[in-house]
Structure formats: structure tokens, C-alpha cells
């Protein structure tokens, strides 16, 4: 009977070890557990609820955990008409969300003010917040929101997460391996 | 006593104070003077059983001498009849008496009119803006207020900017002209 030789892997845990980059691992975790802040301000919120419900099931993308506390949220979905009276409240809620955070402008109103060219409506939430994904539609279908969410996941998977979060550590590592 | 008899009794009792009466498709409208408002309102509620104030609205007749018009929609739950009271106020006067102690629902209706049209209500217990924030400097439903809005700024409270209309087609012109000339599509954007 031939002898077995120990290799680089311990055969007992071989198969449970994955080699990857930090960024890839962090981004993979982040993009598949995007907890939304449902900033439902108008009829888009109805479609947002439909997206969360069983037929469209946003849970397939890991974003089913609607949190009504901004401190537990990753992505703010601005769903609806942002009036000037509400605008600073939206901004304040956004500021209370922990980093890293993203914003989806859902529908025509949140993106541009939509049909409300009027004294009372902020002409696009991007005047106050850094928007990552704009979704067209009035209101958008749930499929469109899911497509927007997938776009955001794509964007997150390309981010330099470690470098952004630990700039000094990355600098040290780069110097050590230079 | 039928509803019609009731309305006629109002006419008899306030004969001199009711300036005008119109009937249109079973709707009765009386025009009164602002000074008689509270007396007439109290009579309508107590004697004529108009226990429900459906709505108060205001109209801006821009360019006319008595610029503002206030319309009270009354309803009697017991007799199931409507009554409409109208009165005119000039811009200089800009105030009428409150009816919020007669029908409590008038409290918010009058606040809305104050907010949007800038008409004050004498004796109102809590005359603050209801839709816009305290300190907003304009009255948005007045005819001279542009649809796109005007810039305003209250640090940490709220701000407004003018909306980009691009000369767009949905802009009425404030004037005494007929609807045909004020109609939005009559003013296409100049290209």
C-alpha cells in the first residue's frame, strides 16, 4: 500500500479554504446583504413594498431586511416625491446611516422632481445626497427596482473597499510588499 | 319644515344682509358681507341645523378690486341639504373673522387659506402655516406667485429653489383675461 504524503493543505480541512482578495470578500459580503432604508414618500413606496413581497421577493438579492432605523441600514431607497419640507429630514436620516452607505433614487420624482415642476418639490434628491443609482419610471415596476439593485451590487463589487476603509493599513502593506 | 323652506327663512331673516342669492342645479349660494359672517354662520348652525362645515376655500380674482373670495360649504346632516356662503375681501383688508369657534373643523381650513393665500382670520386661536414651514416668505396660491416658485432660505429648517420650467407649456399668465387666453397651451415656449 503506497504511503500518503502531506501536501501544502491539511487534508482534513482541505476544501474549506478559499483564497481570495480582501476587497472581493468584503464586497461580496456587502453586496449580498444590502439592508435598505425604505424612504417611502409617495406612490413609489407602493412599488417598493410590492418588490419586497412574495411575487418579486427582494430577498433573492439579500435586501429584504427593511430597517426603519437609519443606524442599521446600508442603502437608502428614496421612493417618491421629495418636498422641500421633507428634504432636510431625508438628508438628516441619510447622515445617521453608518458608512459604507449608498443611495438609490427610485422613480422620476426622486431623480429629477418628475412632473412636479413646482415651488414645493425638490428637483431631484441628488441636490442633497450622492446618488448611486437612478431608476426611471413613474412609478418604476418592481423589476426596474430589482435591476437598479443589481446595478448597485455591480457597482459595489468593483469598489476598493479595503483601501477606502483602511488607508493606512493599505499603505503599510504596499510598502512592505514593494 | 323642508330644506327649501329653511333656506327661504334664512333669506327672510337676513334679507338686507344677503347680497345675492343664486340657484344652480339645486345648489343654493348666498353672497354675504364679511362683517355679517359670524352672525349668519351662527344662525345657520343653530337655527338651520347646518352642523357640518364641509370645506372653506379661497379664490384669487387677480386684478379685481375685491381681490379675494372665500367660500364656505355647509351641509346639514339632519336635512341632507347643502348651502354655500360666499364673501369678498379686498387685498388691503386681507382678513375676515374666524368661524373656528362655530365649527371647530374650520381651524385647519383657515390655517390652510392663511398659508396658501395669505388671508388672515381675526380671532383664530392658532393662526400658523399648515403646509409650508413657519418663516416661508411667500403665499404660493396667489396668482402673482410663479408656478416654478421663488428661492428662499431658512438655514437648518428648509430652503426652496425655482424649478427649471424651461419656458414650458404649463404656465398660466396672471391676468383678468378669459380662460382661453390664460390657457397654458396658448403660450408655447419661444424656441
> What local confidence, expressed as pLDDT, does residue B187 receive?
57
pLDDT recorded at residue B117: 92
Name the closest residue on chain A to residue B168, using Cα atoms. Answer: A117
Paired residues of B81 in beta bridges: B76
| Closest residue to B164, CB basis, from A85, A87, A123 | A123
Q: What is the pLDDT of residues A164-176, one digit of tens each?
A: 888 898 889 889 9
Quick: pLDDT tens for B101-153: 999 999 999 999 999 999 999 999 999 999 998 888 899 999 888 888 888 88
A14 by Cβ neighbours in 10 Å (0-12 / 13-18 / 19+) ranks as exposed
**Confidence grade of residue B190 (pLDDT, cut at 50, 70, 90):** low
Q: Find how far residue A102's CA is from the centre of its chain.
A: 5
Kindly tell me if the per-residue pLDDT of A72 is higher than 90.
yes
Kindly report which listed range (A77-81, A90-94, A122-126, B3-7) carries the lowest average pLDDT score.
B3-7
User: In the predicted model, is pLDDT for residue B7 greater than 80?
Assistant: no
Chain B residues in contact with A123 by the CB 8 A cut-off are 161, 163-164
Chain A residues in contact with B164 by the CB 8 A cut-off are: 117, 123
- pLDDT of residue A96 exceeding 60: yes
Q: Which of B133, B157, B163 sits opposite A118 (nearest CB)?
A: B163
- Residue B86, pLDDT > 60, answer yes
Say yes or no for a CB contact (<8 Å) between B140 and A85: no
Segment A79-95 mean pLDDT: 93
Q: Which DSSP symbol is given to B102? A: T
User: A123–B156: do the CB atoms touch at under 8 Å?
Assistant: no
Q: With an 8 Å Cβ cutoff, are A84 and B158 in contact?
A: yes
What value does the mean pLDDT take over residues A74-97?
Answer: 93
Judged by CB atoms closer than 8 Å, whether chains meet at B145 and A119 is answered as yes
pLDDT reading at A5 higher than 70:
no
Closest chain B residue to the Cα of A124, Cα to Cα: B163
Whether the per-residue pLDDT at B179 is higher than 80: the answer is no
Is residue B170's pLDDT more than 80? no
Residues of B with CB under 8 A from a CB of A: 131-133, 138, 140, 145-150, 156-161, 163-165, 168, 170
Q: What is this model's ipTM?
A: 0.75
Amino acid at each position: 500500500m503506497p504511503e500518503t504524503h502531506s501536501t501544502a493543505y491539511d487534508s482534513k480541512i482541505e476544501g474549506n479554504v478559499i483564497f481570495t482578495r480582501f476587497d472581493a470578500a468584503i464586497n461580496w459580503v456587502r453586496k449580498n446583504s444590502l439592508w435598505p432604508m425604505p424612504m417611502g414618500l409617495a406612490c413609489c413606496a407602493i412599488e417598493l413594498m410590492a418588490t419586497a413581497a412574495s411575487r418579486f421577493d427582494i430577498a433573492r438579492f439579500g435586501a429584504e431586511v427593511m430597517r426603519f432605523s437609519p443606524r442599521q441600514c446600508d442603502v437608502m431607497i428614496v421612493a417618491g416625491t421629495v418636498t422641500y419640507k421633507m428634504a432636510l429630514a431625508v438628508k438628516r436620516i441619510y447622515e445617521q446611516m453608518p458608512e459604507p452607505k449608498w443611495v438609490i433614487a427610485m422613480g422620476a420624482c426622486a431623480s429629477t422632481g418628475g412632473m412636479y415642476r413646482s415651488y414645493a418639490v425638490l428637483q431631484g434628491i441628488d441636490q442633497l445626497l450622492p446618488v448611486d443609482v437612478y431608476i426611471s419610471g413613474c412609478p418604476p415596476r418592481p423589476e426596474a427596482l430589482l435591476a437598479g439593485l443589481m446595478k448597485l451590487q455591480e457597482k459595489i463589487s468593483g469598489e476598493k473597499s479595503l483601501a477606502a476603509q483602511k488607508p493606512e493599513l493599505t499603505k503599510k502593506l504596499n510598502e512592505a510588499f514593494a | 319644515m323642508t330644506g327649501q323652506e329653511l333656506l327661504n327663512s334664512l333669506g327672510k331673516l337676513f334679507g338686507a344682509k344677503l347680497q345675492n342669492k343664486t340657484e344652480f342645479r339645486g345648489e343654493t349660494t348666498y353672497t354675504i358681507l364679511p362683517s355679517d359672517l359670524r352672525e349668519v354662520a351662527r344662525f345657520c348652525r343653530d337655527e338651520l341645523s347646518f352642523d357640518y362645515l364641509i370645506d372653506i376655500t379661497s379664490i384669487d380674482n387677480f386684478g379685481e378690486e375685491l381681490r379675494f373670495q372665500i367660500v364656505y360649504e355647509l351641509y346639514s346632516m339632519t336635512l341632507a341639504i347643502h348651502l354655500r356662503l360666499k364673501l369678498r375681501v379686498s387685498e388691503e383688508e386681507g382678513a375676515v373673522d374666524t368661524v373656528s369657534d362655530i365649527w371647530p373643523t374650520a381651524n385647519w381650513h383657515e390655517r390652510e387659506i392663511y398659508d396658501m393665500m395669505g388671508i388672515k382670520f381675526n380671532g383664530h386661536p392658532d393662526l400658523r402655516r399648515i403646509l409650508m414651514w413657519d418663516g416661508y416668505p411667500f403665499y404660493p396660491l396667489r396668482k402673482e406667485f410663479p408656478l416654478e416658485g421663488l428661492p428662499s432660505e431658512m438655514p437648518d429648517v428648509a430652503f426652496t429653489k425655482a424649478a427649471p420650467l424651461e419656458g414650458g407649456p404649463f404656465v398660466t399668465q396672471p391676468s383678468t383675461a378669459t380662460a382661453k387666453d390664460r390657457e397654458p397651451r396658448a403660450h408655447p415656449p419661444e424656441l
